Structure 1
Amino acid sequence: MSESTPQSSPSTTTSEADSLLAVLERNRRTFAWKTSGLDESGLRATTAASSMTLGGLIKHVALVEADWLAVKLAGREHGAPWDSVDFDADPDWEWRTGALDSPDDVYALWRAAVDRSRELVSEVIAERGIDGPASFTWPNGRTPSVRDMLLDMIEEYARHTGHADILREAVDGCVGENAPKDFTL
């Protein structure tokens, strides 16, 4: 009988913000791994009755990075390409065009959104702390905290990584739970 190595417990000196950011980064890394290395046909593939594609999913998550962390958390503009899109006229623009974009373009857009988010989240945490307010208020008058925003972003990645699991397996049979620790975005 082999002895299993115990899981290391989180450090008691790690801040809550560091813990939340570590979980977000793990989710980003797993999402990147699930969607990496595909050509145009892989990024355009659908499965079952869904019209969702990995290309559309990647571009959607890039939009969520901009909307949730740049705009709603940090109070900045969406930036390109989002600020030139009429989402009222084409509400599924990122899903539709993400399925048509080249792999290089869709991956680059997502990576740029993640890089921007990392920078802005770091600034916001330094300025406001984890309990500080986001830069928007819900219609009910409640302003979420930085913590709330990070938890919602973690949930967004967790949900969409599940979608990526199904789509990726349908494309080339790639399955697995987590990205290898040495996998980089």
Structure 2
Amino acid sequence: MTSTETLTGERADLLETMRQHRWFLTFTAQGLTDEQAASSPTVSALCIGGLIKHVAAVEANWVKFIEQGTEAMAHDPESTDYDNHEANFRMAPGETLESIIARYHEVAAHTDKLVETVDLDLSHPLPSAPWFPEGKTWSARRVFAHIIAETSQHAGHADIIRETIDGQKTMG
């Protein structure tokens, strides 16, 4: 793995920012039991383990988009399979926090290698979906920015949940 110290410019910035926000997210799970990681102690149904699982899945899907193009993220707009989407945010029976974090580290390592090597201008049309504007394309650069935003947003969610569980804060 290339260190951000040997990279310069935009690639180094992307890697450093991704790694920082991944750290914020996974720090919220530090010292938790599987039961605590699966708990939803706020009004929200979100849990720390589920958030990490979700962010790993989203990152992996966007990396497939960069590597394989639009079809890698094909979505059936007629689908009403919301249960599977919601399950992405929960720890399933038998899942452990350790296995979820290990999977996240695998995804992150693959993404990091891609940041180091991919043409950042490589672009693909976004798949047809109600949440994407028609005819829009995203470059690898834009996808990495989106992954950072997604990770950052959910790290904030996880921080609130962790503070509710036992008072631990990521910062402050």
Normalised to the residue count of structure 1, the TM-score between the two structures is 0.71
Normalised to the residue count of structure 2, the TM-score between the two structures is 0.76
3-state SS of 1:95 partner = coil
- 98 and 168 in structure 1: CA distance in 2 versus 1, 3 angstrom threshold: farther
3-state SS of 2:28 partner = helix
> Following TM superposition, by how much is the alpha carbon of 1:163 offset from its aligned partner in structure 2, in angstroms?
0.3
> Following TM superposition, by how much is the alpha carbon of 1:151 offset from its aligned partner in structure 2, in angstroms?
1.0
Q: Aligned residue for 2:36?
A: 42
Q: Does 1:131 align with 2:121?
A: yes
> Following TM superposition, by how much is the alpha carbon of 1:112 offset from its aligned partner in structure 2, in angstroms?
1.5
Q: Amino acid of the residue matched to residue 137 of structure 1?
A: L
Q: Does 1:119 align with 2:108?
A: no
Q: Aligned residue for 2:77?
A: none
3-state SS of 2:137 partner = coil
Which stretches in structure 2 are left out of the alignment for 5+ residues?
A: 1-6, 74-79, 129-133
> Following TM superposition, by how much is the alpha carbon of 1:100 offset from its aligned partner in structure 2, in angstroms?
5.5
Q: Does 1:161 align with 2:155?
A: yes
Q: Per-residue CA shift, 1:75-114, capped at 9, x if unaligned?
A: 2869xxxxxxxx9362222223357611222121211111
Q: Does 1:27 align with 2:21?
A: yes
Q: Aligned residue for 1:8?
A: none
Percent identical across equivalent pairs? 28
> Following TM superposition, by how much is the alpha carbon of 1:44 offset from its aligned partner in structure 2, in angstroms?
1.6
Q: Distance in 1 between matches of 2:144 and 2:162?
A: 26
Q: Does 1:72 align with 2:62?
A: no
3-state SS of 2:13 partner = helix
Q: Distance in 2 between matches of 1:59 and 1:15?
A: 30
CA RMSD, Structure 1 to Structure 2 (Å) = 2.8
Q: Distance in 1 between matches of 2:94 and 2:37?
A: 9
Q: Amino acid of the residue matched to residue 42 of structure 1?
A: Q
Q: Distance in 1 between matches of 2:51 and 2:108?
A: 14
- Asked if the contact 1:98/1:106 (under 8 Å) is kept, the reply is no
Structure 1 or 2, whichever has the larger Rg, is: 1
Q: Distance in 2 between matches of 1:43 and 1:136?
A: 37
In the alignment, which of 10, 17, 25 is matched to residue 11 of structure 2?
17
Structure 1 outlier segments of 4+, above 4 Å: none
Q: Amino acid of the residue matched to residue 88 of structure 2?
A: E
- Asked if the contact 1:30/1:161 (under 8 Å) is kept, the reply is yes
Q: Distance in 2 between matches of 1:53 and 1:17?
A: 32
